[in-house]
Amino acid sequence: MAMNSSSNSRAAERSRSPNREKRSEAVPTERREGKATFSVPSGHLAGHYDAVYLSTDLESDDIVAIKALAPKLRGVPLFIVVGEGNVDGKCKMAAEMCAFYGIDEYATIVDGHRSEEKFPVGALSAFCGSTNSKATILQGDASKESEAFLRRYTAPLAIILKPPHELLGASAEVLGRTAAAAYGSFNFLRMRQDMPKFFGPLSADQAAQHQDAFISSFRRFYLIERWMNVGSYGVLNANQPFWKHIERDTGLMHVVHHWNLASVVRVSSRITQMVDELNRACEVPDGCTEASSNAEAFVEVAKIVKGAEPSLAILQEIANLHGMQVCLADPVVAAVLADEKGELVGPFERVGTVKNSSTTRAEFTAQKGASVAVLDAQGKTQELMQATLAVLTQMIA
């Protein structure tokens, strides 16, 4: 489904955040243009890009990805949209993070679309020791600033690590010369859920069609769907040799610590719900004194416990690892952009078309010469994870 110009206008207008961060006096406002290019060595997006657009919610896996990409980002014009979450201060955190990783000189940051998701306030101070950031923080409308940035360059690359609300209203001309690599999964599910805020009333099927049109609008698009590659239990953790590269990074570990504490609180609420459901299932009616068997109650108990197993597994894993873990999601995006030897994209990249549905997982159809690529384990999840870790290690070591 094509996005018409009136929809684009409404999208840009409605994506304004009501709680913009004030510009910090310590952050310079003049625009500086880097001259370096961002190079993708292999795969569907192989080539040289004269600017990078980065959207992030600054969760711990985002920061692992940014840390890994930092050497390639230095000297490149960089535009960062910081979105999601319910707290102020994330633009300042992003500016300090850029200084921490040495990518602040040509970085511009804008506050994007907010959400009701709780962001751990303690994580905001992760990079506060980097007080001399050269990054510029803008107060402007994130959608308009996003389009303006992409329009200034001939061959920009968009790295999308959060729901891409700010690009939903971008013109076909701008997206048509922009290549993109994106983590889909939850991010694109949230994007579809929020589309009525931008385009007016939409059915779930119409939102899925909008997503298809959005993806196909880009010159080239690399879609990382977690279920196709590392699976829902793919993590970076303290049991892996790679973890030493995370553990020695004090800023990143600060975020990891606070994010996992917040995850415990968030997941615990689901356990509370399970307890309430079990109490209702096992409740004996008032006035019942006869000892009778109710086998059907245990059918309901089994159903409730089964539904809570994923939450219990998350809590158990966080507890066992003492919070030393990060979701292996956005780092996979970073890996496909820096695979020097082709050891990841070579065996697992597939080019074709993607059709989304409101009721099932996206349907991928291989098609030579198509504009979309995915990373598909095709039953070899462990091999794909090992290749991903090998590429990330080369990037960070």
Across the chain, which distance is largest between two alpha carbons, in Å?
83
**The pLDDT of residue 56:** 98
Nearest of 352, 318, 333, 335 to residue 392 by alpha carbon: 335
Same domain, 262 and 386: no
User: Which parts of the chain register pLDDT below 50?
Assistant: 1-30, 291
**The pLDDT of residue 104:** 96
Same domain, 105 and 241: no
Same domain, 190 and 241: no
Same domain, 190 and 269: no
Number of other CB atoms surrounding residue 366 within 10 Å: 11
User: The pTM is what?
Assistant: 0.86
**The pLDDT of residue 76:** 97
| 14 neighbors 27 (Cβ within 8 angstroms) | no
Same domain, 342 and 322: no
State the DSSP H helix or E strand holding residue 295, giving kind and residue range, or none if neither: helix 295-320
Residue 287: left (phi > 0), alpha (psi -120 to 50), or beta? left
Torsion sign over Cα 184, 95, 248, 118: negative
Within a 13 Å sphere around the CA of 293, how many CA atoms are in the beta-carbon half?
2
Which pair of tokens denotes residue 158?
């968009």
Cα 184–chain centre separation:
7
Q: What is the arrangement of strands in the sheet containing 372-375, beginning at the earlier edge strand?
A: 136-138, 107-111, 78-82, 51-56, 156-160, 179-183, 220-224, 372-375, 349-355, 363-366
- Containing structural domain, residue 346: 5-231+328-396
Same domain, 157 and 278: no
Average pLDDT over the chain reads: 88
Residue 73 Cα distances to 31, 34, 179, 358, 388, angstroms: 17, 10, 16, 36, 20
Same domain, 263 and 202: no
Distance CA 324, CA 116 (A): 26
Same domain, 49 and 73: yes
**The pLDDT of residue 145:** 96
Same domain, 180 and 93: yes
Distance CA 212, CA 204 (A): 13
Distance CA 45, CA 374 (A): 11
Same domain, 192 and 322: no
Same domain, 37 and 156: yes
**The pLDDT of residue 31:** 54
What CATH number should be reported for the domain holding residue 208?
Answer: 3.90.245
Same domain, 111 and 250: no
Beta strands in 126-215 (DSSP E): 136-138, 156-160, 179-183
**The pLDDT of residue 177:** 95
> How many domains are contained in the chain?
2
**The pLDDT of residue 271:** 86
